[in-house]
Amino acid sequence: MQKLKDEVSRLLAPRVSLEPAEVINLLEIPPEPNYGDLAFPCFSLAKIKKKAPPIIAEELYEELRNEEGLLWEKAVPRGPYLNFFIAPEAFSREVLQEIWTSGDKYGHYNLGKGQNVTIDYSSPNIAKPFGVGHIRSTVIGHSLYLIYRALGYNTIGINHLGDWGTQFGKLIVAYKSWGNESDLKEDPVNYLYKLYVQFHKLVEEKPDLDDEARYWFRKLENGDKEALDYWNRFRQLSMDNYELIYDLLGIEFEYYHGESHYNQMLDEVIELVQKKGIARESEGALMIDLEPHGLPPVMLRKKDGATLYITRDLAAAIYRYETFKFARSLYVVGAEQTLHFQQLFKVLELLGFEWTSKCAHVPFGLIRFKEGRMSTREGKIILLEEVLNRSIEMAREIIEEKNPDLADKESAARAVGLGAVRFGDLSNDRIKNIEFDWEKALDFSGETAAYIQYSHARICSILRKSDKKVNVWDESAGSLLVTEEEITLVKTLALLPDKIFASAENYRPSILARYLIDVAREFNRFYHNCPVLDSEDNLKKDRLLLISSTRQVIANGLALLGIEAPDKM
């Protein structure tokens, strides 16, 4: 589709007094296939030409009616738009050759060469089990990490662990008061979590426990050896547990820079804020008044000298820019933290950092299971590891029923089970709350990862059975693909680069996920109506090339969502 855009933009640019790149930015995909394949809106030319957009579209049509295009065969005015229709044979050959040549790099750009993108995602809280509530940040962030890397950027994954704060004072008090060493060794993270829940139940009867917790956290901030020993041990036990989850999901981070990493930088942040004159003392606490900017005030330091979450986030943002000189810095954090990031970015702006505009909060809604909502303080939590293992087990049962003779059921079950959880999240617009439904997520015929994976496996099966192999590019390739199903499938495959770019620009992997459903749907419509293995030789060769290209697009797209594309299911 990009080459079609390039051709149309070069054609239109001198006629509308715009640069080709400006024309490309204006081009749209029409909402209905019968409207055309590419549309140029004439609204922006109305003021310049002092004419109504429909008249401009008609005039452009008259200028172009005798032109011959390589990848387009006609241009038709429709209201304020000039719509271009592809030349099917040339377009099919162009698209299929690009997929053939690019292989697993099809859809990738080199836009971000030499530029860094930092992505802050996952970020579980130390000494608590990895709950399913963190799945959204984890899979959305990881997909954006992969997508930006496909665009040529150097992506830097940062796991901003919740490894600091008064909760560690609570945990130390709980462990010192009623902790048991043997229980800690047997099941470290779940035991620490039980202590945390127990603390919150008892604090209602003994409010002085909160004072004791604050006391121990101050000792921790002041570098007390006993407090640090507890903290280091609890942190390492938690990290060992989290690594098991990340290994299962195939996720690695460049940095595990939690909140504690920035402790040594907090004095510099406080000093900078005071030097800029944007902070004031209020009853012993250090505050920044953001009300003139339509935001509530921010507290950077409590009257007892303890710092807050936003103080550490300021230090983290400054550290990341000084270290990585990022082109973009993304924070994949729940929508409930929107105000926090508005305040954070406003303070950075007031401090005079021009790079603040490169920072973006990527919010998302809640995930709910029918089992109910979670609360770590009340002890209501659904463990992510249990969710993933359950999904794999359910996938194994389905595969056993559908394909009992499959050689490696375990690998297929892992791919389908983990894919179901990831896609169940990523196929939804991130800002919406979602309710995870096991039956829907593992439906081989619905809008699911399993449906897309099954389409991929079906194509692999057809290619294995064929007596003709698609292993050499032929200049006449694609010339026999003329049916409506074939042309529509080619057009769909051509959209992958645009969908990857749109997913990055909008921070929405859901754009790519929904697109892959379209690819699988168009493939299955094609396969139902157009025989492949039973076609005559030359047509069979073209159709094998088409489904091979479809397989490549599905595999490339799923890979950017962090999902496997199994060859057999």
pLDDT for 446: 81
Q: CB atoms < 10 A from the CB of 21, how many?
A: 9
Residue ranges for the chain with pLDDT beneath 50: 373-379
Give the tokens for residue 375.
């609360």
pLDDT for 371: 54
Alpha-carbon distance 155 to 148, whole Å?
7
CA-CA-CA-CA torsion sign (51, 52, 56, 59): negative
Helices H / strands E in the chain, number of each: 22, 12
Q: CB atoms < 10 A from the CB of 264, how many?
A: 9
Which CATH code, of 3.30.1360.70, 3.40.50.300, 3.40.50.720, 3.40.630.30, is assigned to 2-86? 3.30.1360.70
Instruction: Please name every residue paired with 323 in a beta bridge, in sequence order, or none if there are none.
Output: none
pLDDT for 370: 62
Q: Say which CATH architecture domain 384-560 belongs to.
A: Orthogonal Bundle (1.10)
Alpha-carbon distance 471 to 493, whole Å?
19
pLDDT for 81: 96
By CB atoms closer than 10 A (0-12, 13-18, 19+), residue 67 is exposed
Q: Letter for the amino acid at 408?
A: D
Check if the beta carbon of residue 526 is closer than 8 Å to that of residue 492. no
pLDDT for 434: 86
DSSP string, 8-23: HHHHHHHHHT--HHHH
pLDDT for 345: 98
Give the CA distances from residue 82 to residues 12, 70, 272, 494, 546, in Å, rounded to whole numbers and listed in that order.
Answer: 10, 18, 55, 21, 30
pTM of the model: 0.91
SS3 117: strand
> Boundaries of CATH 1.10.730.10 in the chain?
384-560
SS3 116: strand
Tokens 């270290």 correspond to: 323
Condensed to tens digits (0 to 9), the pLDDT of residues 74-122 reads: 999 999 999 999 999 999 999 999 999 999 999 999 999 999 999 999 9
pLDDT for 375: 44
DSSP string, 163-193: --SHHHHHHHHHHHHH--HHHHHHSHHHHHH
Give the tokens for residue 9.
């933009």
Check if the beta carbon of residue 117 is closer than 8 Å to that of residue 326. yes
Check if the beta carbon of residue 515 is closer than 8 Å to that of residue 542. no
SS3 465: helix
pLDDT for 374: 41
Q: Which of 83, 111, 62, 81 is nearest to 8 (CA)?
A: 83
DSSP assignment letter at 423: H
> Boundaries of CATH 3.30.1360.70 in the chain?
2-86
